[in-house]
């Protein structure tokens, strides 16, 4: 198990999921870590999952997340050229492996319990364009394992590149978690320690939500040969998400993103996650394309 300052001395082991999952995770090779955050034992608000405390909890709490709707969001970057193939009635299916059969990471988001949200909450904690995230993750914190998985599965298809996506996701969402603030860490805080912890947690939660496998188990696979009923897609994902409804997003009538909703008891890093229903209505039509990449 890795402490962020001791990663170079520890062997790589399989990731520990946020909670038991159905169908297995997307990746191996990520070190299981010890998050050096304050203990929540004996803290009053630790009794409650986020969004369930009977009163107001201080925004300085390290044991109750006020941004209590935790969303693990995923991309399905289908090839839009397949839409042209559909018009020509040319059936195509995706049989390639690995990333082409993986819903990749978008981020780990945090809404307030009423569905509203803040963003870019702590400019003083943000990365700037002069910061090299590879240097921070690999050289400063010794997390080659984490970087290797991020560069493969947390990808940005635009010319800006993947590191710009990582920077954006942490700056926009990661700086807003009250349980991820520097005061929640034990001992002397190292700059960007919470950012690397945010990336680790995002990968962990994503790894426990293998969307492609959830759909494949229901005989829903990428193809240009037919559409699928949105309700069938939603039911397959709900089965994988402990019976809770999942947000399905579409672009041009084709599945393009998935959001899994949670509440958390304790700190967002080492707390207990609980699946919850989506708070967002699907943007998809009643029948959807699930196109190959």
Burial class (CB in 10 A: 0-12, 13-18, 19+), 216: middle
- C-alpha distances (whole Å) from 87 to each of 84, 224, 289 are 5, 10, 13
pTM (predicted TM-score)? 0.88
How many domains does one find in the chain?
Answer: 1
Task: Give the distance from CA 162 to its chain's centroid.
Answer: 15
* Residues carrying an active site annotation: 106, 169, 173
- Report pLDDT for 127: 98
What is the pLDDT, as a whole number, of residue 15?
30
CA distance 217 to 171: 36
Dihedrals phi, psi of 285, to nearest 5 degrees: -75, 175
Q: Which domain holds residue 106?
A: 2-54+63-290
Measured from the Cβ of residue 281, the count of other Cβ atoms closer than 10 Å reads: 8
Residue 88's pLDDT is what?
Answer: 52
Bridge partners, residue 287, by sequence: 229
Q: Please report, for the domain that includes residue 130, its CATH number.
A: 3.90.730.10
Scan for tokens 């400063």, then name that residue: 140
Predicted local confidence at residue 2, as pLDDT? 53
pLDDT of amino acid 27: 54
Residue 149, CA atoms < 13 Å, CB-side half-sphere: 22
DSSP string, 105-145: EEEEEEE-TTS----S--GGGS--TT--HHIIIIIIT--HH
pLDDT of residue 83: 75
284 HSE (CA, 13 A, CB side): 24
**Mean pLDDT, consecutive 10-residue segments, the chain of 293 residues?**
39 29 52 92 96 94 96 93 64 60 97 92 97 97 96 83 95 98 95 98 98 98 96 98 98 97 98 97 96 92
């Amino acid at each position: 198990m890795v402490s962020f300052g001791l990663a170079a001395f520890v062997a790589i082991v399989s990731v520990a999921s946020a909670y038991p999952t159905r169908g297995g995770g997307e990746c191996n090779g990520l070190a299981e870590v010890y998050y050096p955050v304050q203990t929540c034992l004996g803290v009053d608000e630790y009794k409650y999952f986020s969004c369930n405390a009977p009163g107001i909890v201080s925004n300085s709490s390290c044991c109750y997340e006020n941004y209590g709707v935790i969303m693990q969001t995923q991309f399905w970057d289908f090839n839009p050229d397949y839409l042209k193939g559909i018009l020509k009635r040319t059936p195509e299916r995706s049989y390639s492996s690995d990333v082409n059969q993986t819903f990749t990471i978008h981020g780990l988001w945090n809404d307030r319990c009423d569905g509203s949200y803040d963003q870019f909450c702590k400019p003083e904690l943000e990365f700037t364009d002069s910061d090299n995230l590879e240097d921070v993750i690999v050289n400063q914190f010794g997390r080659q394992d984490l970087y290797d998985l991020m560069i493969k599965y947390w990808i940005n298809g635009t010319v800006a590149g993947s590191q710009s996506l990582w920077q954006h996701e942490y700056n926009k969402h990661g700086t807003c978690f009250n349980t991820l603030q520097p005061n929640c860490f034990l001992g002397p805080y190292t700059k960007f320690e919470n950012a690397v912890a945010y990336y680790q947690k995002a990968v962990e939660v994503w790894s426990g939500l293998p969307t492609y496998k959830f759909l494949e188990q229901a005989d829903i696979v990428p193809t240009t040969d037919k559409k699928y009923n949105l309700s069938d897609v939603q039911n397959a994902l709900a089965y994988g998400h402990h019976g809770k409804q999942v947000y399905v997003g579409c672009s041009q009538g084709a599945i393009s993103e998935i959001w899994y909703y949670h509440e958390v008891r304790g700190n967002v890093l080492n707390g207990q996650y609980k699946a919850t229903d989506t708070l967002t209505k699907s943007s998809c039509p009643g029948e959807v394309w699930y196109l190959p990449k």
